Structure 1
């Protein structure tokens, strides 16, 4: 058995969660000792498709003509396409039709969570849909003590200064506007947002908010995986205010890095993340502020050990074992 991990248009997604998912798929295959290639000209038995660009659809057609098995990873839904880029809400219904058309060209469809599977079950997808986590390399993100020093030295942060971070594109869906508002209301703490989106394609209100940020809010942009690992270890709270996700790879990373976490209380995390047990959940700016302050001032229990246990359930080694059965589903 040999697997083709199709990387058409990889430059467009390599800095996103899809890019990380592709890396995790390679890691999973290495753990399983299954040969793989990224060269579509080589022979293969199964192809992994991760994007909904036209070239991926063409790859599905070509694979079908050669009687190869097609596994389509459904990282995107109409629901998480909304509130992303300029015009995304207007285009959302068309986006739903397009991704449904793409996913129907797989033999099976894999999506990261039971929540996203539930959403796709209401689309007109004629192929079997299963859920399988994107996975997380817990060994890589496990804190060592050195990462905190590197992070604070790199950004000139004093040991006693408190730091709140988040990671993602500059999207309203990701909660960036609330993050900026919290930074304004909590000037005694440092806020860092890692990730980047070209400001030409984001709505004007987000562009204005970023350009008018306060002095305690920093946008370092996209950083390497190693630097992001240091940021998790060197910060005091991971604040994930996303409104909609199919899973949230950066959340898995934060759980593995054992950093205290505050998330928005949204449906995808209703059953998986337990409030006051693995993370803290809020729904309003005031609740987010209170929870962050409670963690920063050591007034709330540290839940990171429970969070790490949860991340371990989705460790890439566990995911790799589960992946095998879908090759024959």
Structure 2
């Protein structure tokens, strides 16, 4: 049995995708491989593999012990992606960004959820040969489409009319997520119901906190901010939505998109190049807020135009299934365990 020790604080801060990805992986591994992997969390005893999901300083200080086994690091962000999420004053920001890269360089192997990050890591001096691409996934037991009757009942409970066209978005309320565009779309389309689930996971450290706090306290009548809600409650909002919209300016592989797919909801995204490698042709692409508005108006006027995007969502959900990713993770961990105590890559 391979001993895999997970090091993570991903679930301590609610409302962030890192925690969702960690929860999905843990659930899949314990369900599919209970007799092959001995999995423990934040356990500092000897292991074959130490998989670091978050970059906590206490993990960094203890990771160099030989009994840690093969060190695996999950790359959920780079310094440039953090700049649109957290407001860290200079020079603390530069110190933190250097720490992030030092953490990654201490790993024997890195895992990215989007292949577009491999050349970016290479720019920081991390060889592509030490980086593995494994996409995110979502369990169909956690996220799935409700029946039409269940959706209508849920709409009534949420005080949403059966005839309302509902646009749903979620994630931390911050500049990087494009929440300002979401708000503007709501202002420009008073006949459409907009819902955003998420809040300030990092409080006043959130980039643009003051402006967003005022916007949340005074939203247009057709826009609801739910705040941070439990993940199982999020499923309800996907199922009352006609369209899932994530106007982010920067992402890796959003768990929210996979959740929407699993619920059979058409997806509109800001057309970022990094999406092309993973979900190309499976979402409605929009270059900016004006393009989002134009396409939204078409869907509102003729909802039948959403049909091919609903089919695309179902196809994407099947491709990024738990069963398929379980096989990939099993092969990855088995290979890493065999590599064992190969010479460490120098930290620089």
TM-score greater than 0.5 by the shorter chain: yes
User: Judging changes above 3 Å, is the alpha-carbon distance between structure 1 residues 236 and 301 closer, same or farther for their aligned structure 2 residues?
Assistant: closer
Residue 293 (structure 1) aligns with? 297
Higher alpha-carbon deviation: 296-305 or 76-85:
296-305
Residue 342 (structure 2) aligns with? none
1:21-32 matches, cutoff 5 A: 21-30=21-30, 31-32=32-33
User: Judging changes above 3 Å, is the alpha-carbon distance between structure 1 residues 321 and 178 closer, same or farther for their aligned structure 2 residues?
Assistant: same
Flag structure 2 segments of 5+ consecutive residues without an equivalent.
337-348
Give the TM-score of the pair, scaled to structure 1: 0.90
Deviation (angstroms), 1:246: 1.3
Any idea what SS the aligned residue of 2:305 has?
coil
Whether the aligned pair in 2 keeps the contact of 1:29 and 1:320 (CA below 8 Å) is yes
Any idea what SS the aligned residue of 1:2 has?
strand
TM-align CA RMSD = 2.3
Whether the aligned pair in 1 keeps the contact of 2:10 and 2:18 (CA below 8 Å) is no
Deviation (angstroms), 1:220: 0.8
User: Judging changes above 3 Å, is the alpha-carbon distance between structure 1 residues 262 and 50 closer, same or farther for their aligned structure 2 residues?
Assistant: same
Report the Cα distance in structure 1 between the residues aligned to 2:107 and 2:89, rounded to whole angstroms: 25
Higher alpha-carbon deviation: 32-41 or 248-257:
32-41
288, 296, 308: which one pairs with 2:314?
Answer: 308
Deviation (angstroms), 1:40: 0.6
Residue 238 (structure 1) aligns with? 244
50, 55, 63: which one pairs with 2:53?
Answer: 50
Alignment of 1:19 with 2:24, yes or no, is: no
Whether the aligned pair in 2 keeps the contact of 1:81 and 1:92 (CA below 8 Å) is no
120, 129, 132: which one pairs with 1:130?
Answer: 132
Deviation (angstroms), 1:39: 4.7
227, 234, 238: which one pairs with 1:228?
Answer: 234
Any idea what SS the aligned residue of 2:226 has?
strand
Residue 251 (structure 1) aligns with? 257
Any idea what SS the aligned residue of 2:175 has?
coil
Deviation (angstroms), 1:21: 1.4
Any idea what SS the aligned residue of 2:76 has?
coil
Residues 46-76 of structure 1, C-alpha deviations (whole Å, 9 max, x = no match): 1221111212213423xx3315121110111
Whether the aligned pair in 2 keeps the contact of 1:6 and 1:49 (CA below 8 Å) is yes
Flag structure 1 segments of 5+ consecutive residues without an equivalent.
none
Report the Cα distance in structure 1 between the residues aligned to 2:314 and 2:89, rounded to whole angstroms: 35
Give the TM-score of the pair, scaled to structure 2: 0.85
Report the Cα distance in structure 2 between the residues aligned to 1:29 and 1:325, rounded to whole angstroms: 12
Alignment of 1:190 with 2:193, yes or no, is: yes
Residues 67-108 of structure 1, C-alpha deviations (whole Å, 9 max, x = no match): 512111011112221211223797665443221100122210
Residues 286-309 of structure 1, C-alpha deviations (whole Å, 9 max, x = no match): 210121222233252422122221
Report the Cα distance in structure 1 between the residues aligned to 2:270 and 2:90, rounded to whole angstroms: 21
Alignment of 1:148 with 2:151, yes or no, is: yes
Whether the aligned pair in 1 keeps the contact of 2:155 and 2:240 (CA below 8 Å) is yes
1:1-329 matches, cutoff 5 A: 1-8=2-9, 10-12=11-13, 14-30=14-30, 31-33=32-34, 34-41=37-44, 43-61=46-64, 64-87=65-88, 93-125=94-126, 128-145=130-147, 148-149=151-152, 151-197=154-200, 200-202=204-206, 203=208, 204-274=210-280, 277-297=281-301, 298=303, 300-302=305-307, 303-327=309-333, 328-329=335-336
Whether the aligned pair in 2 keeps the contact of 1:32 and 1:321 (CA below 8 Å) is no
User: Judging changes above 3 Å, is the alpha-carbon distance between structure 1 residues 16 and 174 closer, same or farther for their aligned structure 2 residues?
Assistant: same
Residues 195-242 of structure 1, C-alpha deviations (whole Å, 9 max, x = no match): 110653332332333333211111111222221111111111101101
